Amino acid sequence: MAVSNYACAALLVSGGCALSAAAEYPDRPIRYIVPSAAGGGADISARLLTSELATQLKQQFVIDNRPSSAGLIGVQLLAKSRADGYTLGYGNMTYLAINPSLVPDLPYDADRDLQPIGQFTSGQNLLAVRNTLPVKSVQELIAHARANPDKLSFVSSGNGTTLHLSGELFKQMTGTRMVHVPYKAVGQGLTDLMGGQVDVIFDNQSSIAPHVSSGRVRALAVTGPSRSAVFPDLPTMNEAGVRGYVITTWTGMMGPAGLPRPIVNKLNAEIQRACAVPKVQAVLATQGAVCATGSPEQFVQFVKSERVKWGEIVRRSGAKVD
């Protein structure tokens, strides 16, 4: 039986009402804001997680796609939502770690306005080149780029994206100069790479994997700390000689600041339950990602460390948002 408002007032000092509310939560559908378009990588990841959570919690999650530059509209909407656990959202390195350094006059404060609830996935990008480029390893690419400064082009899905900043970090760490060519969608960049109009790309594994497997582009390395289950024969950037180069992509759940702690804990536990489901693990594996969960505190600290890392890459590259 639900606790009455009168009983809640009486129990407020002891926190009993908050515990009761968490035990009953959720008792109606949950709105889940995804700050990007339907059908994209963020949307797919969000739907994978919320579909499993809906089964576990026996409550519907309603996806609310809010596409905009750098996800600003969706994240700001989430930040201003009521902190009752019925409006949650998709979080990743762009919204929580890159935007604070990249976007001037950011309409939300990632520390003050948002509550990281739990990490869901960890993945990595893949470095590939056009087939007609005369390089077959990362070291050969570095040598070719050094011998031809500003002659090679690398493409991305836009200024300030992880694909762009992966290339900028590569340039910084190898002393090479390549021209960045931003596209509105990475698919067009891949098309031009396969057509020979551009030279280099750092792309999400899920996006580029079919083209690598078919031989339409040449893969050189992955950007994470360990090899990919999808391409186990590819070296990491560190193994390929770019010592210390590590770029991971990650996703998680966030909510507005002020979420009751029992609700944060419950949602975090449910994310960890979802990550233990073999079907979820199998789907992520096909995307070159793995489940990566932990406590809310661990996610908060991870986000802060990522913000420092990405902020330095943005500062040194001079990247500007579109």
* pLDDT tens digits for range 169-211: 999 999 999 999 998 878 899 999 999 999 999 998 888 999 9
Distance of CA 66 to the CA centre of its chain: 16
Residue 224 pLDDT grade (very low, low, confident, very high; cuts 50, 70, 90): very high
> Which pLDDT value is given to residue 29?
98
pLDDT of residue 297 exceeding 80? yes
pLDDT of residue 7 exceeding 50? no
> Which pLDDT value is given to residue 194?
96
- For residue 169, what are the CA distances in angstroms to 107, 172, 243, 301, 319? 27, 5, 12, 23, 11
> Which pLDDT value is given to residue 182?
92
Q: Which one is predicted more confidently, 322 or 194?
A: 194
CATH of domain 124-222: 3.40.190.10
Mean pLDDT across the stretch 3-11? 45
To the nearest 10°, the Cα dihedral for 40, 256, 292, 169?
70
> Which pLDDT value is given to residue 292?
93
Q: What is the largest CA-CA distance in the chain?
A: 76
5-123+250-317 is classed CATH 3.40.190.150: yes
Residue 306 token pair: 């990522």
pLDDT of residue 302 exceeding 90? yes
Peptide bond into 29 cis (omega under 30): no
pLDDT of residue 19 exceeding 70? no
pLDDT of residue 1 exceeding 50? no
Query: Which residues of the chain form CATH 3.40.190.150?
Result: 5-123+250-317
Looking at every residue in the chain, the average pLDDT score rounds to: 91
Amino acid at 170: F
Query: Which residues of the chain form CATH 3.40.190.10?
Result: 124-222
> Which pLDDT value is given to residue 21?
52
pLDDT of residue 284 exceeding 60? yes
Looking up tokens 């909407």, which residue turns up? 77
Backbone angles phi, psi at 92, to 5 degrees: -155, -175
Q: pLDDT digits over 114-173, tens only?
A: 999 999 999 999 999 999 999 999 999 999 999 999 999 999 988 888 999 999 999 999
